[in-house]
């Protein structure tokens, strides 16, 4: 190919690249605005008894009633639905964000493992509640157990000679076994809807759980933003990172802990069985069409939001479980990207 024709091809592709970049930035901007609005609602709902916050909360409720009138629904006027949607929107941001590193490191199974560990935490919380009368949040217990499980997985991976996924598989099956034993032992002692934690249910989301998800989301976004370069380095060349004397073990531990944090928050709407899908499927969809790792992250978050919004629409409209609805929508987005990309497979660059 001559230099003139190559230059002409570059000139033709530049407008397409510019349009693509603009669309991505618009999508990320809209996602950020929606996420901030949902965080704002959680704050208003928590502080609705205060003078200024009460007026803003009343205005928000009026806005919800207006949306119901416009769409012919009876959904948006209820605060419980807004807090459930807030959790879903935040999951759509932080799960693909962390999942981008996990997928490219071939650690997709870690999300499923930590979800089962968090389920064991819920079971422990139920047992403690039934035995002592403690009235704390089950999600806090699940968070503590999930983080301990993440540290245990990292410790086993670093100190065993088995293949890398063996400790993960052991933790996955072992933690779920512990959870089922505890649930069976305490069966009938509490009125907790355990199926809601298994399959996801909008009714499982409590005000405390929604606020916890808001706080965890801020922690995850800040953690990824502050350590992005280091996580990127160990994702694409861990050996070179060790040669450069980067604290690879520390950053690996940070990544699995952030994964545990995301899993516990997402468990409310997705359920233990399906929570890992939001760590993987939007990233897999983005990888079909992205040209760099950074673009993969942007598109994964956008696709995550599309999956959450579409899944909530299906769940509310047809009265189906939220977890299954969101995951099926995410898979539909994934299939659409495969068709749209022409079944091509590209190597992802760590630049850009």
pLDDT in tens, 134-144: 676 777 888 88
User: What distance in Å separates the CA atoms of residue 22 and residue 234, rounded to the nearest whole number?
Assistant: 29
Global confidence as pTM: 0.84
pLDDT band at 304 (very low <50, low <70, confident <90, very high): very high
Distance CA(113)–CA(276), nearest Å, equals 9
**pLDDT above 90 as % of the chain:** 21
pLDDT for position 14: 58
| CB count in 10 Å sphere of residue 285 | 30
Q: Both tokens of residue 180?
A: 């089922």
Residues found in the chain: 352
Report pLDDT digits (tens) over 73-103.
787 888 888 888 899 899 999 999 999 999 8
Residue-wise pLDDT tens digits, 24-75: 888 889 999 999 999 988 888 888 888 888 888 888 888 888 888 887 778 7
User: Which has more pLDDT, 346 or 209?
Assistant: 209
Percentage of the chain surpassing pLDDT 70? 85
Three-state SS for 185-233 is HCCCCCCCCHHHHHHCCHHHCCHHHHHHHHHHHHHHHHHHHHCHHHHHH
What is the Cα–Cα distance from 44 to 92, expressed in whole angstroms?
21
């Amino acid at each position: 190919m001559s230099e003139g024709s190559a230059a002409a091809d570059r000139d033709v592709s530049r407008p397409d690249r510019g349009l693509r970049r603009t669309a991505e930035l618009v999508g990320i901007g809209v996602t950020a605005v929606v996420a901030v609005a949902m965080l704002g609602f959680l704050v208003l709902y928590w502080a609705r008894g205060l003078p200024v916050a009460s007026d803003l909360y009343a205005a928000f409720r009026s806005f919800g009633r207006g949306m119901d009138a416009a769409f012919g629904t009876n959904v948006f006027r209820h605060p419980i639905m807004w807090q459930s949607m807030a959790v879903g929107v935040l999951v759509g941001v932080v799960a693909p964000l962390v999942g981008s590193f996990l997928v490219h490191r071939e650690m997709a199974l870690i999300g499923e493992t930590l979800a089962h560990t968090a389920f064991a935490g819920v079971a422990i919380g139920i047992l403690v509640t039934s035995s002592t009368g403690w009235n704390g949040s089950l999600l806090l217990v699940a968070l503590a157990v999930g983080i301990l499980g993440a540290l245990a997985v990292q410790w086993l991976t670093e100190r065993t000679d088995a293949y890398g996924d063996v400790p993960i598989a052991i933790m996955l099956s072992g933690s779920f076994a512990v959870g089922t034993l505890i649930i069976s032992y305490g069966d009938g002692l509490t009125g907790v809807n355990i199926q809601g934690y298994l399959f996801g249910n909008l009714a499982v989301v409590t005000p405390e759980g929604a606020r916890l998800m808001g706080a965890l989301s801020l922690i995850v976004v800040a953690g990824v933003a502050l350590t992005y370069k280091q996580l990127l380095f160990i994702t694409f060349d861990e050996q070179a990172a060790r040669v450069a004397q980067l604290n690879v073990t520390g950053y690996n531990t940070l990544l699995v802990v952030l994964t545990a944090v995301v899993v516990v928050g997402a468990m409310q709407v997705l359920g233990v069985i399906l929570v890992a899908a939001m760590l993987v499927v939007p990233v897999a969809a983005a990888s079909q069409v992205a040209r760099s790792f950074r673009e993969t992250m942007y598109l994964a978050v956008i696709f995550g939001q599309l999956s959450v919004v579409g899944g909530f629409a299906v769940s509310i409209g047809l009265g189906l479980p939220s977890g299954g609805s969101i995951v099926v929508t995410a898979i539909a987005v994934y299939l659409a990207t495969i068709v749209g990309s022409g079944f091509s497979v590209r190597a992802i660059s760590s630049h850009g």
